[in-house]
Amino acid sequence: MTHATDGADRATSRPEDAAASQTHFGFQSVKETEKAQRVAQVFHSVAERYDLMNDLMSMGLHRAWKQFTVARAAVRPGMKVLDIAGGTGDLARAFARQVGPNGQVWLTDINESMLRVGRDRLLDQGLLLPVAVCDAEALPFPDNSFDRITVAFGLRNMTRKHVALQAMQRALRPGGKLLVLEFSEIAKPLAPVYDWYSFNILPWLGRRVANDEGSYRYLAESIRMHPNQEALAELMREAGLERVQYFNLTGGVVALHEGVKL
């Protein structure tokens, strides 16, 4: 498994500035330098039960959300695709069947535990893909490398979302598309029930199934701290993407954002 690093995107930040900067970890305020480690602990803890918990938490809907993302990506034979925060490999598996022998799909994640699960599951299905542990804020790929870049349920865990989006835009080829599938702001009439479910049922499932209540409480909190649909669309535009649009799925429980590099 490749461990890729590239400090180019961090060169302009002084160490003292980074140490002083604050960000959120769920509802907590933490130093930016601490967030990545805390998120890593969450996903190390849940990696083996990740797919089972996704099925239980979403009642299987996460599969339909990912299928919609795959359809919108419209990957063709010969394309080069980067799946960021690809975890257990659901999107990468679908794209690998579409690009054919002349295309390429990279599976990447900052969390090695998640990536090992994804790599092993792909191998079990006869798919040998390039795999790399890397930070989305400092992607170790040349400019204009990919026709499609996807990130599903990973952006909200990134410390500096604007930096990550700029790195994705840089790595896209002209005409390439970025697709971001993420939890978002639910329709207001559904909010009370959704909040009750998020802060009661999710931690209970985490405790009973994954033996980790805290990680799933963090999940519920991180969703509330993530930019809503319009705010994320604006972040994508600021990163240099054009034709930005989004699709609300299941009443806004999740949204798929798209942007094109012109």
pLDDT in tens, 63-83: 999 999 999 999 999 999 999
Q: Strand 254-260 vs strand 172-183: parallel, antiparallel, or unpaired?
A: antiparallel
Residue 113: its pLDDT value, please?
Answer: 86
DSSP string, 43-82: HHHHGGGHHHHHHHHHTTHHHHHHHHHHHHHT--TT-EEE
- Mapped onto helix, strand or coil, the DSSP state of residue 125 is coil
Least confident of 41-50, 145-154, 217-226: 41-50
pLDDT, mean over the chain: 88
Residue 12: its pLDDT value, please?
Answer: 34
Distance of CA 200 to the CA centre of its chain: 24
- Mapped onto helix, strand or coil, the DSSP state of residue 218 is helix
Least confident of 21-30, 117-126, 188-197: 21-30
Residue 5: its pLDDT value, please?
Answer: 46
When pLDDT is averaged across residues 188-210 and rounded to a whole number, the result is 94
Tell me the domains of the chain and their CATH numbers.
2-188+216-260 (3.40.50.150)
Position 32 pLDDT exceeds 80:
no
Residue with tokens 């804020």: 137
Position 10 pLDDT exceeds 50:
no
77: exposed, middle or buried (Cβ count in 10 Å: 0-12, 13-18, 19+): exposed
Q: What angle do CA 233, 230, 10 make, to 5 degrees?
A: 45
Helix (H) or strand (E) holding 179: strand 172-183
Percent of the chain surpassing pLDDT 90: 68
When pLDDT is averaged across residues 92-118 and rounded to a whole number, the result is 94
